[in-house]
């Protein structure tokens, strides 16, 4: 890190004899900046600004820095999947940092937008700092994750204060502002600021400081026609610096907050100006309490000091320690506070929103087929057979088949990562069975595509089990580049055999189905499990795919297979033989 800082400082201090030398040193400084944790926008403003001042073409500056930021490839278990990493590293980060004047302007984004067909990948969402909770928000409220990218400042970002004031205050009202960490505030009539035109750039530049500048969230003096003091109680500010910028936007959008404006603080936060529009102090605090309680119930913590109607917030249009405080957008979400309260009452209950057939112009592609004519991603597959007939080995055989894209029970499979949840066997017995199967099939059981969790003896409720599985899958995708599309639970009844589960109220079959549905909702995986014949008729009725193995009378190792499927034709009855350790068609 010390060498990286030295490289950056030398670049900013030195003069270069040629454009080629400048370009080479800019590239080195860009790589060093990335190692130091700078965002692309930081580097573009500070390093790129120096290069442009020294005579380098603006377009060439950007290309050089993008090459620098995409130089470090992510090391993964599968090198062929590294191709997407540079593009992610090269994308502008959401840190509120400065950019060159030619950056495109983005002023308004709808709070609720339908999910696009070519939505950005899970890896990109995780790279944006979105966790399970915020991903669920996006899914439940149909927010396009692309809308969570923090826009670059407008070319005339120095005028952002004037834009904000014109949209949020009356021209004859007065506002209060100051440079951070200074005691003295300045009052000014709004019309005097929005009427400055180009001269406002110099005024705003004079307010640049290491700590930035602040203004009061509400007017400090009403206009000539003010009949009451409602101008004091117009807005409240909401932010959470402990969250990633993209996650904050996910909350603002998913919760449909009535935002008058969104301001990038130049640090680690987006401040939302919430439209309160109370008539007096009592109504103001009543509405703000409702706002904060609603946010808190959804996992978004707000500093209690933000309740203050005289709160000083970040002023757009100035630099804060070299980073821009700027306007992200105006007028987003619900039109007013009352409309938002009604939305909360009817929509914010954790349940999916009503969707319209007209939301899509044509039928979407069906989910990936995992087992031909049997199973797709996001479905529940139940395998039933008599006790001690080899169900666990059949599920292991299915998992190994999917890892290699080999046939199972005569049906082709799509190669995919498989996560096997072992509730029954010790680790050594489990692995010995897996290697025995691999040896019989000439398939290497030591494949990174076959993952397993040993949960025998783990005291988790079914819902806690589902949440743990989802957490492990998301962590494996983010940290280990594994994309599990199939979860095998063996056996499903074992989930009920611990103290936490025995204390639950409700029918066992309904509790198990809730666990399965939760795993599917959180991960999008296919869930595969097994039970004894007629053990859980409810699960059989709810399963998307059901395979039944019934013993043939008078034969020890001969079974009849029957299959019924929600999305595929019914399987014609056929016979198979049990030849340890496999069923053979």
Tens digit of each residue's pLDDT (9 = 90 or more) over 195-229: 887 788 888 888 998 889 999 999 999 988 888 89
Highest mean pLDDT among 122-126, 224-228, 316-320, 486-490: 486-490
Residues 6+ apart with CB under 8 A from 261: 164, 167, 168, 272, 273, 327, 328, 329, 330, 331
Mean pLDDT (whole number) for 424-445: 95
What beta strand segments (E) does 221-372 contain? 235-238, 259-264, 270-275, 312-314, 318-320, 323-332, 369-371
The yes-or-no verdict on residue 191 having pLDDT over 70 is yes
The yes-or-no verdict on residue 318 having pLDDT over 80 is yes
Residue 73 has what pLDDT?
Answer: 34
Highest mean pLDDT among 145-154, 335-344, 504-513: 335-344
Q: Does residue 249 contact residue 150 with C-beta atoms inside 8 Å?
A: yes
Mean pLDDT (whole number) for 407-422: 95
| pLDDT-derived band at 70, boundaries 50, 70, 90 | low
The yes-or-no verdict on residue 334 having pLDDT over 60 is yes
| pLDDT-derived band at 83, boundaries 50, 70, 90 | very low
Residue 141 has what pLDDT?
Answer: 66
Integer angstrom CA distances of residue 294 from 289, 299, 344: 8, 9, 8
Highest mean pLDDT among 42-51, 265-274, 279-288: 279-288
CA 11 to chain centre: 36
| pLDDT-derived band at 77, boundaries 50, 70, 90 | very low
Residue 97 has what pLDDT?
Answer: 35
Q: Report the candidate in 252, 327, 331, 349 with the shortest Cα–Cα distance to residue 291.
A: 252
Q: How far apart are CA 49 and CA 337, in angstroms?
A: 42
Q: How many CA atoms lie within 13 A of 325 on its CB side?
A: 26
Residue 134 has what pLDDT?
Answer: 62
Residues of the chain with pLDDT > 70, as a percent, come to 83
Q: Does residue 75 contact residue 106 with C-beta atoms inside 8 Å?
A: no
Residue-wise DSSP of 544-557: SEEEEEEEPTT-SS
The least confident of 63-67, 226-230, 563-567, 569-573 is 63-67
Residue 1 has what pLDDT?
Answer: 52
Q: Report the candidate in 511, 519, 96 with the shortest Cα–Cα distance to residue 267.
A: 96
Better-scored residue on pLDDT, 194 or 349: 194
Better-scored residue on pLDDT, 326 or 118: 326
Residue 478 has what pLDDT?
Answer: 83
Residues of the chain with pLDDT > 90, as a percent, come to 49
The yes-or-no verdict on residue 96 having pLDDT over 50 is no
CA 241 to chain centre: 17
Element (H, E) at 189: strand 186-189
The yes-or-no verdict on residue 281 having pLDDT over 90 is yes
Mean pLDDT (whole number) for 519-535: 93
Q: How far apart are CA 249 and CA 239, in angstroms?
A: 10
Residue 584 has what pLDDT?
Answer: 92
Residue 99 has what pLDDT?
Answer: 32
**Mean pLDDT across the chain, nearest whole number?**
83
Residue 166 has what pLDDT?
Answer: 94
Q: Report the candidate in 371, 381, 373 with the shortest Cα–Cα distance to residue 402.
A: 371
Residue 466 has what pLDDT?
Answer: 92
Q: Does residue 191 contact residue 171 with C-beta atoms inside 8 Å?
A: yes
Neighbours of 328 (CB within 10 A): 28
The yes-or-no verdict on residue 65 having pLDDT over 80 is yes
CA 568-574-579 angle, to 5 degrees, is 115
Q: How far apart are CA 313 and CA 303, in angstroms?
A: 13
Mean pLDDT (whole number) for 420-424: 94
Residue 421 has what pLDDT?
Answer: 96
Residue 135 has what pLDDT?
Answer: 63
Q: Report the candidate in 286, 184, 170, 300 with the shortest Cα–Cα distance to residue 231.
A: 170
Q: How far apart are CA 309 and CA 273, in angstroms?
A: 11
- Token pair for residue 424? 């029954």
| pLDDT-derived band at 52, boundaries 50, 70, 90 | confident
Residue 243 has what pLDDT?
Answer: 80
Neighbours of 380 (CB within 10 A): 21
Better-scored residue on pLDDT, 535 or 83: 535
Residues 442-467 as b/e (b if ≥16 CB within 10 A, e otherwise) read: ebebeeebbbbbbbeeeebbbbbbbb
Mean pLDDT (whole number) for 420-437: 95
Q: How far apart are CA 550 and CA 560, in angstroms?
A: 5
Residue 196 has what pLDDT?
Answer: 80
Residues 6+ apart with CB under 8 A from 216: 175, 176, 177, 185, 310, 311, 312, 313
For the whole model, what pTM was predicted? Answer: 0.54
Mean pLDDT (whole number) for 405-411: 94
Q: Report the candidate in 381, 397, 415, 379 with the shortest Cα–Cα distance to residue 525.
A: 379
The yes-or-no verdict on residue 484 having pLDDT over 50 is yes
Q: Does residue 275 contact residue 337 with C-beta atoms inside 8 Å?
A: yes
Q: How far apart are CA 298 and CA 285, in angstroms?
A: 20
Residue 500 has what pLDDT?
Answer: 75
Neighbours of 469 (CB within 10 A): 25
What beta strand segments (E) does 341-404 contain? 369-371, 375-376, 380-385
Residue 20 has what pLDDT?
Answer: 86
The yes-or-no verdict on residue 188 having pLDDT over 70 is yes
Integer angstrom CA distances of residue 414 from 372, 399, 410, 434, 441: 8, 11, 13, 20, 17
Q: How far apart are CA 280 and CA 227, in angstroms?
A: 12
Residue 200 has what pLDDT?
Answer: 85
Better-scored residue on pLDDT, 301 or 267: 301
The yes-or-no verdict on residue 172 having pLDDT over 70 is yes
């Amino acid at each position: 890190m010390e060498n990286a800082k030295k490289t950056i400082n030398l670049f900013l201090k030195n003069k270069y004899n040629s454009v080629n030398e400048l370009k080479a040193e800019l590239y080195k400084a860009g790589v060093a900046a990335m190692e130091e944790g700078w965002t692309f926008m930081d580097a573009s403003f500070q390093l790129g600004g120096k290069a442009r001042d020294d005579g380098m073409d603006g377009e060439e500056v950007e290309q050089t820095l993008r090459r620098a930021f995409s130089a470090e490839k992510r090391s993964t278990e599968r090198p062929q999947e590294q191709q997407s990493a540079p593009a992610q590293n090269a994308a502008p980060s959401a840190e509120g940092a400065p950019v060159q004047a030619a950056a495109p302007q983005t002023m308004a984004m709808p709070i609720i937008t339908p999910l696009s067909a070519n939505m950005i990948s899970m890896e990109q969402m995780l790279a944006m700092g979105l966790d399970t909770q915020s991903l669920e928000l996006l899914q439940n409220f149909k927010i396009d994750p692309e809308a969570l990218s923090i826009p670059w400042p407008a070319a005339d970002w120095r005028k952002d204060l004037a834009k904000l004031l014109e949209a949020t205050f009356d021209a004859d009202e007065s506002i209060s502002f100051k440079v951070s960490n200074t005691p003295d505030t300045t009052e000014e009539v709004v019309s005097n600021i929005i009427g400055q035109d180009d001269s406002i750039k110099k005024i705003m530049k004079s307010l640049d400081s290491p700590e930035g500048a602040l203004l009061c969230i509400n007017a400090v003096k009403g206009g000539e026609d003010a009949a009451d003091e409602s101008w004091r109680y117009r807005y409240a500010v909401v932010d959470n610096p402990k969250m990633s910028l993209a996650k904050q936007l996910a909350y603002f959008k998913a919760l449909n907050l009535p935002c008058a404006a969104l301001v990038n603080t130049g640090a680690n936060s987006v401040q939302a100006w919430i439209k309160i529009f109370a008539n007096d102090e009592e109504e103001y605090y009543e509405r703000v309490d409702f706002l904060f309680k609603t946010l808190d119930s959804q996992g978004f913590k707000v500093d209690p000091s933000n309740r203050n109607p005289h709160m000083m917030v970040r002023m757009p249009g100035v630099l804060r320690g070299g980073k821009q405080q700027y306007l992200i957008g105006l007028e987003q979400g619900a039109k007013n506070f009352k409309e938002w309260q009604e939305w909360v009452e009817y929509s914010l209950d954790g349940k999916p929103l009503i969707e319209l057939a007209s939301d899509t112009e044509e039928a979407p592609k069906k989910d990936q087929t995992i087992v031909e004519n049997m199973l797709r991603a996001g479905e529940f597959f139940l395998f039933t057979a008599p006790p001690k007939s080899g169900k666990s080995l059949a599920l292991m055989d299915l998992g190994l088949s999917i890892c290699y894209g080999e046939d199972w029970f005569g049906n082709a499979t799509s190669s995919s990562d498989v996560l096997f949840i072992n509730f029954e066997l010790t680790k050594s017995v489990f692995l010995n069975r897996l290697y025995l199967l691999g040896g019989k099939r000439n398939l290497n059981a030591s494949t990174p595509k076959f993952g397993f969790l040993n949960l025998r003896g783990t005291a988790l409720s079914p819902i806690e089990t589902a949440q743990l599985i989802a957490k492990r899958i998301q962590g494996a995708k983010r940290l280990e580049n594994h994309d599990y599309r199939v979860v095998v639970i063996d056996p499903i009844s074992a989930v009920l055999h611990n103290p936490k589960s025995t204390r639950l109220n409700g029918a066992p079959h309904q509790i198990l189905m809730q666990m399965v549905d939760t795993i599917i909702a959180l991960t999008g995986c296919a869930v595969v499990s097994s039970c004894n014949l007629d053990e859980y008729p409810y699960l059989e009725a709810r399963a998307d795919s059901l395979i039944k193995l019934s013993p043939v009378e008078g034969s020890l190792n001969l079974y009849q297979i029957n299959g019924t499927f929600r999305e595929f034709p019914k399987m014609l009855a056929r016979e198979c033989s049990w030849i340890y350790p496999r069923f053979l068609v």
